[in-house]
Amino acid sequence: MTNLGELLARTVPPLGYELVDWESTPKGRLVRVFIDKEGGVDVEDCARLSQHLTRLFAVENVDYDRLEVSSPGLDRPLRRAADYERFRGHEATLVLREKRNDTKKVRGVLRGLDGADALVETGAGTERIPLDAIERARLVPRIEWRKQR
């Protein structure tokens, strides 16, 4: 059987989407794929990729019962070093592998990368956090409510 992660990594980007993440339940009964693109994804993007993957999985003999394709959401995970540059100026929450300053969580505004360190502006100043010290990171959703007139 084809390695699903490699198959998705080869297939999704040429179709104009970023493969943010994917997951599969034991025995592959459910395959969930998270995609993004500049300007965000919509329902048509998810449907288009779902149809493409359904055909591809049939050809590649990928055994599954259900396929879900969606956007990563407003609290999008930060998986790659490039994400810290791309989302510079956005607020994020980082969970560290080990405690630092008596906590494993850091919340602040992303200021990009410096080598292999993420720069995060917090109330205490800009912190340098090695990427390999980050267990997981997510954007903090920004919801802007408009006043009705």
Assigned domain for 145 exists: no
Assigned domain for 60 exists: yes
Given 48, 70, 92, which residue is the final one in a domain? 70
Both tokens of 96, joined, read 């560290």
Using alpha carbons only, how large is the chain's radius of gyration in Å? 18
Q: How does pLDDT run across 69-81, given as a tens digit for each residue?
A: 999 988 999 999 9
Nearest to 72 by CA among 88, 87, 52: 87
d(CA 17, CA 20): 9
Q: How does pLDDT run across 24-71, given as a tens digit for each residue?
A: 988 779 999 999 998 889 999 999 999 999 999 999 999 899 999 999
Q: What is the pTM of this model?
A: 0.78
Given 36, 70, 104, which residue is the final one in a domain? 70
Assigned domain for 144 exists: no
- Domain residues for 43? 4-70
Assigned domain for 149 exists: no
